[in-house]
Amino acid sequence: MIELRNVTKTFPGSGKSAPFTAVDDVSLTVPRGSVFGVIGHSGAGKSTLLRLINQLERPTSGSVLVDGQELSGLSERGLRPHRRGIGMVFQQFNLFNSRTVYGNTAYPLKLAGLPRAEVRQRAEEALRFVGLADLARRHPEQLSGGQRQRVGIARALAASPKVLLSDEATSALDPETTGEVLALLKRVNEELGITIVLITHEMDVIRRICDRVAVMDGGRVVESGEVYEVFANPQHSTTAAFVRSVLPERPAGATLERLRERHPGALVTVPFRHDGDLGRELSRLLRRYGLDFSLVSGGISEVGQRPLGSVTLELHGTQAEVAAFLADPQLAGVVADGSGAQDSGTHGSGAVAA
């Protein structure tokens, strides 16, 4: 649905300041019907990247294609029909306080010159979809933050876009309202088939609704891919830091030392993935080698409706039993901390001393 080919955006310097490259040679493909997240810290270039898609910012070089049409070479007049197919939802809502909820929703349609009956039909349908039909005559100051963001989404949907761009749409909301707005965006994608590109600095937003993700740092995309695989196996330090913010880590450092003080047996951390059999096989393997265990740490979360995480166990058994257990070839990916009954230094394939 969207393709960026070697796109660079450099802003000219002013006075003594040098030119600044906000987006540096970025190539991305956003599949039709997907929810594509772009994450990065402040200044990473993600907002500029989003504005390049609808050509609110023109690229210094490279090409931007939406639905097969290259936009980067079009005039402002030539862009107008294509921009109508690209809706946008803003962080600060950008509503007119002087207009009602209905008036805000209908305003872009009136500007486009649509007949009054069609304007009413589209605006009312959009408000019903976001659950605000009964608040159509209220003004924005009478609404909560979540309701105002729903108005922003309704306004974008009323134009029947093929693409919806979300610019930090939940960062000004509390956690409960954030969940409601994310659920609404997921409905927009699933029920209306609209491709969504959202930018955020919160990895939990990516985890909850995105299919694919691009991680930006210093104007470049440092990693991209299917969300589950990026979470399960981050390749760049920036990505790993974002993943750690939402998924429990394997115990290390002071946390591991505290666990060792409380649990003298061998500690092992077992990864859980949707495509692995280790979780189902673990109890059987422990029984085979005569081991009991205590659960001491860990957590399993859902990423793309699939489980991902790890648990740390204290094994109860002899040194020989623990060593035999860890030598089992099915235990690839298990990490042992080297304490307790496992101090002999014997590790199975995939069992690595922490």
Superfamily (CATH H level) for 253-353: ACT domain (3.30.70.260)
pLDDT per position as a tens digit, 40-77: 999 999 999 999 999 999 999 999 999 999 998 899 99
Q: Tell me the C-alpha distance between 278 and 207, whole Å.
A: 23
Contact call for residues 121 and 102 (beta carbons, < 8 A): no
At 258 the three-state DSSP class reads helix
Radius of gyration for the chain, computed over Cα atoms and rounded to the nearest angstrom: 25
Burial of 264 (0-12, 13-18, 19+ CB in 10 A): exposed
Band the pLDDT of 149: cuts 50, 70, 90: very high
What is residue 348's DSSP assignment? -
pLDDT per position as a tens digit, 288-343: 899 998 888 888 888 878 888 888 889 998 889 988 888 888 776 676 765 544 33
Residue whose C-alpha is closest to residue 207's, from 348, 305, 76, 66: 305
pLDDT of residue 340: 46
Entry pTM: 0.84
Q: Is the pLDDT of residue 106 over 70?
A: yes
Helix-then-strand count for the chain, H and E:
12, 15
Which secondary-structure segment (H or E) carries 308?
strand 306-316
Q: Tell me the C-alpha distance between 174 and 273, whole Å.
A: 30
Dmax over CA atoms of the chain, in Å, equals 81
Q: Facing residues of 88 across strands?
A: 165
Give percent above pLDDT 70 in the chain: 92
**Angstrom distances, CA of residue 347 to CA of 206, 298, 325, 338, 344:** 36, 22, 9, 9, 9
pLDDT per position as a tens digit, 180-220: 999 999 999 999 999 999 999 999 999 999 999 999 999 99
pLDDT of residue 305: 80
Superfamily (CATH H level) for 2-244: P-loop containing nucleotide triphosphate hydrolases (3.40.50.300)
Checking DSSP bridges between strand 2-11 and strand 86-89, what pairing results, if any?
A: unpaired
Q: Tell me the C-alpha distance between 164 and 156, whole Å.
A: 8
Q: Tell me the C-alpha distance between 137 and 96, whole Å.
A: 13
Q: Which two tokens stand for residue 89?
A: 């939802």
**Angstrom distances, CA of residue 268 to CA of 212, 260, 309, 345:** 31, 11, 14, 14
What is residue 341's DSSP assignment? G
Q: Tell me the C-alpha distance between 118 and 121, whole Å.
A: 5
Q: Tell me the C-alpha distance between 122 and 114, whole Å.
A: 10
List the chain domain ranges: 2-244, 253-353
| 299 Cβ neighbours under 8 A, 6+ residues apart | 247, 248, 309, 310, 311
Q: Which two tokens stand for residue 142?
A: 């009478």
**Angstrom distances, CA of residue 311 to CA of 1, 163, 275, 279, 287:** 39, 40, 16, 10, 18
